[in-house]
Structure formats: structure tokens, C-alpha cells
Chains A and B, each alone.
Chain A
Amino acid sequence: MSVGVRRGLLLTGVLAVVAVVAALLVSGLRHDPADTASPLVGRTAPDFTLPELGGPPVHLAALRGQVVVVNFWASWCAQCHTEQPALNATWAKFRDSGVVVLGVDFEDDNADARDYIASEGSDYPVVVDANSRTALAFGVRGVPETYVVDQSGRIVDRIIGAVDAPTLERTLDLLVGGGAQ
């Protein structure tokens, strides 16, 4: 093999290595960790007992047998206002079909949370995650973030950002067999 051919092959090899390393770097820099699928989907939801806003504590495990829509929200969160009508509609439609919508107030002031609930007309249970321990156990990266827990306590879906009623209802229909009233 001549020197010229060998140098050409060498240069091609070096350029190939540089291209692979550059591609890995670019893909790593452009990758948003929040886009990664939650490792909790398909697993049993982390259990929690949290005080209801102005009510008794709620124990997630005690809701086994029902589908639970765990929605992390806060009164200061703009997207939470956007999704609120969808959550209210879902609760109204599925509350008698074995579905519980459960709000988890995240990094919020209790008085602000109460004002928010009053102004939005929500009447599903809302608990307070005062030390964010439950949010950390669920791997929450921000609000709103919603987890759908099936009757066996397994997380079947995670929605980052505002939920939309049709998508959420399709998931719930699958879980409760289209038995919504």
C-alpha cells in the first residue's frame, strides 16, 4: 500500500472518529433530560399520605381499586390555569366511574392555593406536599405534571405540561372500560 493511500485512509479514519465524537456531543447537548421517559411508568406509584387542604389526610394506597389522576400543580403556575377546565371536566365525567382526580399542591402558599381552588371552581380533593418529598418520589421536574395510576397502583402514564381533556379521557376510558357517565 502506497504512502499516499495509507495517509488517505488514516485521514478518513481520524475524520470518522472526530465526526462520531462531534455527533455524540451535539446529541447530548440538544437532549433535554425532561424529555426522557419516566422510569416510574409501568411501576407501582410511590405511596404517600398527605394532608388534604383543609381536610383529613389522603393515603394513596387507600385508593387502590380506583384509577387515580395525580396532578401536581401550584397557584403560581400559568399552565395549571390552562389545564384546570380539562381536570374539572374529567372529574365531573369520571368521578362516578371509579376515577379519583387528586391535586397535589407543590411549593405553594396554602392561602393562595385556597383562593385558586375557589376561583377555578375545583371540587376534587387537593393535598399539600409541603416538603416536596412526594414530588421528588414521583420525579417531578415542574408543574403541571400529571400521573395516571391504575386500579392496581401502577403508573400507566405521565403527562408533562397542561393536560388536554380528550387525551386524558381516552386513557381513563381504557382503564375503566368506557364506563364513564
Chain B
Amino acid sequence: MSSREAVRRVRLPARLTGRAGVIGLAALMVVIAGVVALIVVAVRGEPPPTTLAQEAHQIATTLRCPICEDLSVADSPAPLAAQMRQQISQELAAGKTADQIRANFVASYGDTVLLSPPHQGVGQIAYVLPFVVVAAGVLAAWMLLRGGRRAATATPPSRGRPDARQSDLSVADRDRLAEALARLREEEP
């Protein structure tokens, strides 16, 4: 079965069966694949650390250097950040978990020491809001498209006398226009 026959069998709209339609579909599939890949990476996150040094680095990347402008403890060259990295390593070696270590810094500095907001209280807004915005956008797009379609079906190409309610023409002009359209239709083969 040729690709054209396959396209005909699924009865795609005519505008999707042309060359431009195929390219558009391919582009759409690439975009969808990209979005799915991004979601998978975001959900899975980084691979788990295998050494204490890697784990210490990973914890440091989640903490904000307290005396820097928006630098993580892992990236900051400040001596205080270096001390924080050392403390993280020592506490990991002493058997503390990543959450316990972060909680110690939060106890001293508050939630602002975390580079990502906490999954509780006001911090939850940061995680929920993007989904709300995307959902609102999809809803808005759907309503606009639906409204556009209705408007299009409500004003079909006129085959007779133009609708006086939607015309700015005078009655005489509308009559002349109707006559001209009628002549044109008669001349059509």
C-alpha cells in the first residue's frame, strides 16, 4: 500500500494530505517528541550519585550561597560556600541524609537557602502555577478556535441577497451586488 493510499484510508482532511501538510505533521511530531523527552528528563532528574563526593556536589547544587547573588553553593567561590561544601561532605560521611543536611541549613537560614522552593506551603505555588497557566492557555486557545469556527459557519459565502444585518451597503447597492452575483453565476459553466 502506498503512502498516498494510507493517507486516503484514514481520511485526513485535504489540507493535511499535500506536501505542506506532511511537513507540518512531521514538524508537529518532532515537537511532541521533544516535549515528551523533556517531561521524561524532568521527571527522572539526574542519575543518582555513586560516590559521596558526587552526592555532596549534588546537595551543594540545591543550596543557595548565602552571601552571593544567585549562585549555588556548588558554583560559588566564596569562602563561606567552601565551608558549606566541607560541612556537607563531613555530614554525609557521618551518615546524614541529603534531606537532613538541607534541613540543617534551612533551620539556620530559612527556606531562602534552597534554590528550589519547598514542596509545601507557599512554595507549592511554584510547582502548581505552570500547570495552571498551561491549562488556562489551552482552554483559551480552544475557546478562541471554537469561537472562530462558529463565526465562520455563521457567515457562509452568500449565494443570494447579501445579509442586510452584516452589510454596510445601502439597499440599492445590495440590490446591484445581488444582480451582479446572479449574472456571474449564470455565466459560470
Question: Which residues from chain A sit less than 8 Å from chain B, CB to CB?
Answer: 3, 6-7, 10, 13-14, 17, 21, 24, 33, 36-40, 46, 107, 131-133, 135-142
A141 touches B67 (CB 8 A): yes
Residues of B within 8 A of A (CB): 64, 66-67, 79-80, 83-84, 86-87, 105-110, 112-113, 125, 129, 132-133, 136-137, 140, 143-144, 147, 150-151
Whether the pair A3, B140 counts as a contact (CB closer than 8 A) is no
Q: Which of B79, B83, B133, B151 contacts A133 (CB 8 A)?
A: B83
Given A107-B80, A132-B83, A142-B67, 20 additional A-B pairs, CB 8 A: A3-B151, A6-B147, A7-B144, A7-B147, A10-B140, A10-B143, A14-B136, A33-B109, A33-B110, A36-B112, A37-B110, A39-B106, A40-B107, A40-B108, A133-B83, A135-B83, A136-B80, A138-B108, A140-B66, A141-B66
Distance in Å from the Cβ of B20 to the closest Cβ of chain A?
29
CB distance from B85 to the nearest CB of A (A): 11
17 contacts between A and B (CB under 8 A): A3-B147, A3-B151, A13-B136, A14-B136, A17-B136, A24-B125, A33-B66, A33-B109, A33-B113, A39-B106, A39-B108, A39-B109, A131-B83, A136-B87, A138-B108, A139-B110, A140-B66
A178 and B81 CA atoms in complex are apart in Å by 41
Q: Is the CB of A136 within 8 A of B150?
A: no
A33's partner among B64, B105, B140, B144 (CB-CB below 8 A) is B64
- For the residues of B in contact with A, the DSSP-based class is helix
Interface centre among A14, A37, A38, A46 (most CB of B within 10 A): A14
A140 to B150, CA, bound (A): 63
